[in-house]
Structure 1
Amino acid sequence: MEKSQSVIKTKNQVLVLMSLLVAFSYMGSLVKIQGTIALDALPAYLGALLLGPLPGAVIGFAGHLLTAVTSGFPMSLPMHLFIAALMAMTIGLFGCIAEKVNLFLATLTGVFMNGPVSTLGASYLAAVLGLGFSGKIMFFALILPLTLTSLVNAAGAVVLYKVLKARHVLGGHHEVS
């Protein structure tokens, strides 16, 4: 991803855009696919492309917690905090790969990390916490819907980013000054 002239120059502007993207994450959290699988991550992926890996990760963390809140924390608060942390790591990694390599590899990595890797980690932690829905049953029940939803979230953000860039709405990745 090439660097170009920044449009966003101040930390306040970055915080305002982050807040807007968290609000969009809330709206996406209301579009439930299955349980707490929702379209809350698309704004986080977009945030990583527009603002960088760290702001995107913060948006991803908040986005998952909003989905958990709107679902009533069905897997317990500790479980959802763990999943939110996995989401933040996934979005941060996506943003780093998008900056250093390319969007295609970043998208594949984001889908893989948020799909199979996160499902495996969450299934294991759920078993450790003694939740009824855990282990292999949880993994096999969630792997397909979570991976497909991850693809929709990541690819949707990349498409939106490219459309914004093609229409000259933004100048590329923006540095915080």
Structure 2
Amino acid sequence: VKELFSSFNGDISAGLINVTRNIAPTFMPYADVKNGNALEALYKNKQSLGMKRGEDIIQLGKDEYVYKTKGMNIFFGIKDKQMYATNDELLYKNVGKAADKSIKDAPYASDMKGKNIFVAINADAILDLIVVKMVAGFGGQEVKTYIELANKVSYLSMSSEGEISEIDLCLKDKDVNALKQIVDFAKQFAGM
């Protein structure tokens, strides 16, 4: 495990991709690594990990593994000097392929650089989820009001750099003063 953590070469990034799943949200952390020796050592020494009955680590290919448990499979490995782990087989199969939507295109992408911690909640992506659209369609006027309010938000980001932390609420309407938008938002939320 010590060798695993010492193999990281810079930042570790992670994302929750599908928070609507019943069992657990889809996740995918990844990081640049120096080499694949740590995962190979982990696999070769899997007996010493104290795995429970029904758990196993299986090698799927060169630098590709799956940790099998009763409730979930976690695919992990190294591709193009990036270590990854995910509980979604489709994501595992697409590691290294270009994505339709890249975080590089997100409005907050340039704000991430140099931060020790950066978390963003993309309102557009949440509103685009099928389950949210279904709730909006069947939820009545109250849900419709919440959806309209959420539609005014582009994203919420939280970051930390050294001892300085920052929370940014970024609204879509660039022409109206942000404070006025927030007051109007609060009034609409309160039903005034």
TM-based fold match above 0.5: no
Rg larger in 1 or in 2?
A: 2
| TM norm structure 2 | 0.24
Question: Relative contact order: is structure 1 or structure 2 higher (C-alpha 8 Å, sep ≥ 6)?
Answer: 1
